[in-house]
Amino acid sequence: MPFIPHTDDDTREMLDAIGAKTIDDLFDEIPAELMIDSLDGVPDAMSEMEISRLMRERAAMDGAPLCFIGAGAYEHHIPQAVWDIATRGEYYSAYTPYQAEASQGTLQTIYEYQSMITELTGLDVSNASLYDGASGLAEAALMAVRGNRKAKSRQVLLAPGVNPAYARVAMAIAGSQGLTFDYLPMNPSTGNLEPGSLDDDAEPVAVVIQQPTFTGTLEDVDRITDWAHARGALVIAIANPTSLAVLKAPGHWGENGADIACGEGQPLGVPLSSGGPYFGYMTCKQQHVRQMPGRIIGRTTDLEGKPGFTLTLQAREQHIRRSKATSNICTNQGLMVTAATIYMSLLGIDGLAAVARQSVGNTARLAAGLTSIDGVERLFEGPCFHEVALKLDRPVAPVLEALAARNILGGYDLGADLPDGGNALLVCATETKTGADIDTYVETMREIFTSPLTQSA
């Protein structure tokens, strides 16, 4: 099949058929004052050679620092085989092709992905992915509203551990559709929900609980889940998929389990690569499947009784349901999902659990080292996963700059994200960090804290 755009003759023929003189005539409904000839600030086109050079130079600026930043995206070891396989010609596409069922391999890959993600989250069905974790929360909130028609409310309550960037994205996407997002109060000593703050008069349509929390702590998910269900709300879980190899699956939270789970799929074999592309995952209980956005691949049998894979429940989707579709999402991040499927297959559940445990151990070792420095202490008490929030006795930004000058990305400055601001730093050490790496960070930090330039005021 040739993928060649129509020729001038084709265009002429089509315009003649509908009685239009030029292509511009097709857009004459747009008022002239809204039409623009050029885009300000967009540079001129560049040749392939020029753009390759530019991108190489920009990529080199990243260098190869020792990275201790988490805060939603995590540096994990990606076996060489993952992207060797994912970039084979048979897989190398972001999309499910048109006539999807002709590409059985692609559909089977997504089906395997869905099976693994449902197993990790303990829920019944998965879609074929979303753009990322943050937009996944927006989709989950809209889905909860559709799936909880008994609730008159459009208020979504967020446990204090929900990633603030996710909350902002969800508000940007779903706020214009009448949903409101409000944080529940945080206990300043644990970083988790303030006990006693669950109001028995609240009537939220959904409650969002992130586990591990944005600051790496572990929330009492069972209690909040049961409270939310007693208030007639659906429960949306946000979970780091790596953590699900060792922590309780959202489908088993509380008496009845979370109703929807979503999150960032990047830890599963997708490199940090300056922020994307990543992918979001989403799973739910069977009873909500018709409200789910995106594509779903099902396993079936063909006319000869042979197993096969097919797009299923398509009537939810935009090509059939038009403006009433559950979402305008379709395949989106197919290539990232392919990599994640290969990553999960290679590691297996035991391998993923080993990654999780090693990361937890490394982070504990890093936290112990850093808090041995005078002026650095834990911000919150209690256990944490592979990330820990620290309180510094001086402003965080100059410390991070000093670390960066020594080729260390020291963590994420929490100042803007916590209610009382303060000098708070979120650090993470995944399985990619050796004992020597962690010691390097700790000793560098110790030197910075004893140097006069960043002394506390």
Partner 1 sequence: MSELPGDLQYTSDHEWLRREDDGSVTVGITDHAQSALGDLVYVELPEVNQEVEAGGDMAVVESVKAASDVYAPIAGTVVAVNDALSDDPEVINNDPYGDGWIVRLEPGGDEGDLLSPDAYQALLDELES
User: CB-wise, 172 or 320, nearer to partner 1?
Assistant: 320
- Inter-residue contact 300 to 310 (CB < 8 Å): yes
Q: Does 150 bind partner 1 (CB under 8 A)?
A: yes
Consecutive H or E run containing 264: strand 260-264
Instruction: Report which of 262, 236, 264, 239 is spatially closest to residue 249, judged by C-alpha positions.
Output: 239
User: CB-wise, 101 or 437, nearer to partner 1?
Assistant: 101
User: CB-wise, 231 or 386, nearer to partner 1?
Assistant: 231
- Inter-residue contact 221 to 196 (CB < 8 Å): no
The two three-digit tokens of residue 263, written as one number: 């999150």
Interface region with partner 1, contact rule CB under 8 A, candidates 51-59, 80-88, 187-195, 320-328: 320-328
3-class secondary structure, 199: coil
Sheet holding 180-183, edge to edge: 125-126, 280-284, 260-264, 234-239, 206-211, 155-158, 180-183
Mark 188-200 as b/e (b = at least 16 C-beta within 10 Å).
eebbbbeeeebee
- Angle at CA of residue 402, ends 398 and 406, nearest 5°: 160
Report the C-alpha gap between 303 and 298 in whole angstroms.
16
At closest approach, how far in Å is the CB of 308 from partner 1? 16
Instruction: Report which of 327, 258, 318 is spatially closest to residue 291, judged by C-alpha positions.
Output: 327
Q: Does 21 bind partner 1 (CB under 8 A)?
A: no
User: CB-wise, 123 or 311, nearer to partner 1?
Assistant: 311
User: CB-wise, 310 or 432, nearer to partner 1?
Assistant: 310
Phi/psi at 430 (5° precision): -80, -175
Interface region with partner 1, contact rule CB under 8 A, candidates 66-74, 186-194, 245-253, 314-322: 314-322
The CB density around residue 361, as the number of other CB atoms within 10 Å, is 13
User: CB-wise, 23 or 320, nearer to partner 1?
Assistant: 320
Among the listed residues 324, 420, 436, 453, the single contact to partner 1 using CB under 8 A: 324
Q: Does 88 bind partner 1 (CB under 8 A)?
A: no
At closest approach, how far in Å is the CB of 313 from partner 1? 9
Among the listed residues 316, 336, 396, 424, the single contact to partner 1 using CB under 8 A: 316
Q: Does 321 bind partner 1 (CB under 8 A)?
A: yes
At closest approach, how far in Å is the CB of 229 from partner 1? 18
At closest approach, how far in Å is the CB of 148 from partner 1? 10
At closest approach, how far in Å is the CB of 291 from partner 1? 9
- Chain CA centroid to CA 242, Å: 12
The DSSP 8-state label assigned to residue 453 in this structure reads: G
- Angle at CA of residue 145, ends 156 and 227, nearest 5°: 50
Q: Does 319 bind partner 1 (CB under 8 A)?
A: no
Consecutive H or E run containing 221: helix 221-230
At closest approach, how far in Å is the CB of 13 from partner 1? 31
Task: List the interface residues with partner 1, window 355-394 (CB under 8 A).
Answer: none
| Count of chain residues binding partner 1 (CB under 8 A) | 8
Consecutive H or E run containing 141: helix 133-147
At closest approach, how far in Å is the CB of 135 from partner 1? 24
Task: List the interface residues with partner 1, window 275-304 (CB under 8 A).
Answer: 290
Interface region with partner 1, contact rule CB under 8 A, candidates 44-52, 68-76, 121-129, 312-320: 312-320
Q: Does 315 bind partner 1 (CB under 8 A)?
A: yes
Residues engaged in binding partner 1 (CB under 8 A): 149-150, 290, 315-316, 320-321, 324
